[in-house]
Amino acid sequence: MLSQNERQDLTRATIRGTVWSYAAKYSGKFLVFISTLILARLLSQEDFGVAGYALTVISFIEVMNGLGIVPALIFYDLVEERTDTAFWLGLLVGIGLGVLTWMIGPLAGDFFRDERAVGVTRLLALTFPIQGAGLVQDALLRKDLKFGRRFVPEMGRSIAKGGVSIVLAFMGFSYWSLLWGQLAGFVVNTILMWWAVPWRPSLRFVTRYVRPMLSYGTHMVVVNILGILLLNTDYLLVGRFLGAAALGIYTLAFRVPDLLINQFCVTIAQVVFPAYAKMKDDIEGLRHSSLQTMRYVALATVPMGLGMAILARPFVLVAFGWKWEEAIPIVPWIVAYTVLRSFGFNLGDVFKAQGRPEILTWLSVVQVILMTPAIYWAVTVPQTLVAVGWVVTAISFIGMVLNFAIAARMLQTPLTHMFRALQPALISGVVMGTAVALTYTLVLNLAPIWQLVIVVPVGMLVYTAALWFTERDLLHQIWRTLSKSLGRKPLATNP
């Protein structure tokens, strides 16, 4: 069991890692978002849809990249021979997956009933050996919570991805511009990972390390495959039954919720898993940390989600233009789905840190069994993207409840404590949502840009005020923790 001082040191390291990881992720994602705003005006709905074919197919294969060696290296003690073995194993797997992707290109064309899916899928096959060459470097940075060093590779990837895509789109490369940009981003990221990490592999491949890594990593691969099924079954079925244009609309509708909520949770997870792994024998510390993480994540995702849901129309019109108006009714449902997922996102890292990744496997199996026929119904009976949004939101809620129930038992805490962690964000969110909705009705006659300029600050002020009056101690606690972690002078509290 960790001592109190060790817990505090780990907490501070985790927060510093989160800040750096957040800065790297969101600086990069902001650049990608800006490039998306430009590309949305240069490319058509079909262009985004055709690129979506390849990205959806690749996402299913990508989860096997390295066969889970990154979480395995984080979980096990650092041994030089194991690290060398992991590098060569990851590179070989990347090459194999690239060949596999090239071979299944025609199957993608048949599935989506669009010959364009063949070429775009085969182009992205090159990403696997490129990623495989940088997996261990990324794992070493995460294991040591050195997320500051990931800033430059993440930024480089985003700049290359957005820059290449925009230049090629201006030159008339249509959907190919999105895919060449994706490939350029991976190349730059891998090169900069080698620059950021001084470690270099030697020509050693020790077979006794392969089985333990693959045994742990295989569970993670299965979990990730099922997770990708959860995250991409809708893309697959929308693309097959509703066509490229509908898939393009659906893909773009996900961009902002993914940027602000999903990627926020992914950033947190990248940091907390190594931290949780270090306290795997300290249930009390793990329980406290996981509940605190849930509380802090909800404090961020609830206001973002409510704001996007209520202001979906002006946001879509300002950000992407009138040709994407069809995405407006879908955004609130996608936002609800991502917010519900955010509530228990870090609990999966609790299961992994306890050496029980199979729990994630079974949770994912249940949700996939529920999700697939439900989305099939949505795209074949009502045949609308809004119906797809209903389905993914409902399944996300069921998954959240199951996640909470299992985590409560593992952490030896009442289930009510899990929901209580969300209470500050939900109460303040309701107050904020009411104020935003009322203010929005008063400015409906204004241009969309002015609606955002007026309503967004109102929402931020009301949410902050609601937290101040209802959860002042929590705000002081957050400030003190951040101040100690980032080396700033703590805020004096009222007696």
Question: Tens digit of pLDDT for each residue in 150-185?
Answer: 778 888 888 999 999 999 999 999 999 999 999 999
pLDDT at 388: 94
Q: Residue 2: what pLDDT?
A: 47
| Candidate ranges 21-35, 55-69, 249-263, 317-331; pick with highest mean pLDDT | 317-331
Residue-level pLDDT at 165: 94
How many distinct structural domains can be found in the chain?
2
Give Cβ neighbours of residue 451 (< 8 Å, ≥ 6 apart): 311, 314, 440, 443, 444
Residue 362 sits in the same domain as residue 282: yes
Residue pLDDT, tens place only, 103-159? 999 999 999 989 999 999 999 999 999 998 988 888 888 777 666 677 788 888 889
Task: State yes or no: pLDDT of 432 exceeds 50.
Answer: yes
Domain boundary among 386, 403, 421: 421
Cα within 13 Å of Cα(244), Cβ side: 19
Of 24, 15, 52, residue with least CA distance to 247: 52
Q: How confident is the model at residue 481, as a pLDDT?
A: 55
Indicate whether 315 and 432 sit together in one domain: no
Per-residue model confidence as pLDDT tens digits over 86-108: 899 889 889 999 999 999 999 99
How far is CA 438 from each of CA 311, 332, 457, rounded to the nearest angstrom? 12, 17, 14
111: which 2 tokens? 């599935």
8-state DSSP, 262:
I
Whether pLDDT at 492 is above 60: no
> Is 442 in the same domain as 335?
no
CA distance 152 to 34: 18
What confidence score (pLDDT) does residue 187 get? 95
321: left (phi over 0), alpha (psi -120 to 50) or beta: left
Q: Tell me, yes or no, whether 436 and 326 share the same domain.
A: no
357-410 confidence digits (pLDDT tens): 678 777 877 888 888 899 999 999 999 999 999 999 999 999 899 989 998 888
Q: Are residues 337 and 456 in the same domain?
A: no
284 and 198 in one domain?
Answer: yes
Tell me: do 440 and 390 sit in the same domain.
no
Instruction: Name the average pLDDT for the chain.
Output: 83
Question: What's the DSSP call for residue 64?
Answer: T
Q: What is the pLDDT of residue 290?
A: 81
Spatial contact of 12 and 484, defined as CB atoms under 8 Å apart: yes
Residues 193 and 334 in one domain: yes
pLDDT (tens digit, 9 = 90+) per residue, 305-331?
A: 999 999 999 999 998 888 899 999 999
Across 1-27, average pLDDT: 52
d(CA 103, CA 109): 12
The last residue of one of the domains, among 421, 441, 465, is 421
Banded model confidence at residue 473, pLDDT cuts 50, 70, 90: confident
User: What pLDDT was estimated at residue 359?
Assistant: 81
Q: Return the sign of the alpha-carbon dihedral for residues 454, 457, 459, 465.
A: negative
Q: Do 347 and 407 touch, CB atoms closer than 8 A?
A: yes
Residue 27: pLDDT band with limits 50, 70, 90: low
Closest C-alpha among 464, 478, 420 to residue 303:
464
Last residue in a domain, options 401, 421, 441 = 421
Same domain, yes or no: 370 and 463:
no
Query: What would the DSSP string read from start to end of 363-430?
Result: HHHHHHHHHHHHHHHHHHTT--HHHHHHHHHHHHHHHHHHHHHHHHHHTT--HHHHHHTTHHHHHHHH
CA distances from residue 219 to 93, 140, 290, 319, 494 in whole angstroms, order as listed:
16, 20, 22, 40, 49
Which residues constitute the domain of residue 396? 4-421
Q: Are residues 231 and 380 in the same domain?
A: yes
Residue 145: its pLDDT value, please? 65
**pLDDT score of 446:** 95
Cα 471 to Cα 464: distance, rounded to the nearest angstrom: 10
**Using one digit for the tens of pLDDT, what is the confidence trace for 442-472?**
999 999 999 999 999 999 999 999 988 887 7
Q: Are residues 413 and 481 in the same domain?
A: no
Cβ pair 178, 251 in contact under 8 A = no
Query: How far apart are alpha carbons 29 and 154 in whole angstroms?
Result: 9
| Range 31-37 average pLDDT | 80
> 256 and 278: one domain?
yes
